[in-house]
Amino acid sequence: ADIMFFSSHKLGGPMGVGALAFRDESLHLEAPALRGGGQEFGRRAGTENVAGIAGFAAALTAATADLAGEASRLADLRDALERQVLKVAPDARFYGSRAPRAPNASAFSLPGLAPRTMLMALDLENVALSAGSACSSGKMTESHVLAAMGAAEREALRASFGWSSTQDDVEQFGKVLARVVDRMRSRHFAA
The SS3 call for residue 77 is helix
Q: First-to-last CA distance in the chain? A: 39
Q: How many CB atoms lie within 10 A of CB 58?
A: 15
Q: Classify residue 56 by burial, with Cβ atoms within 10 Å: 0-12, 13-18, 19+.
A: buried
Question: Which residues participate in catalysis according to the annotation?
Answer: 135
Report the distance separating Cα 33 and Cα 29, nearest Å: 8
Report the distance separating Cα 120 and Cα 184, nearest Å: 11
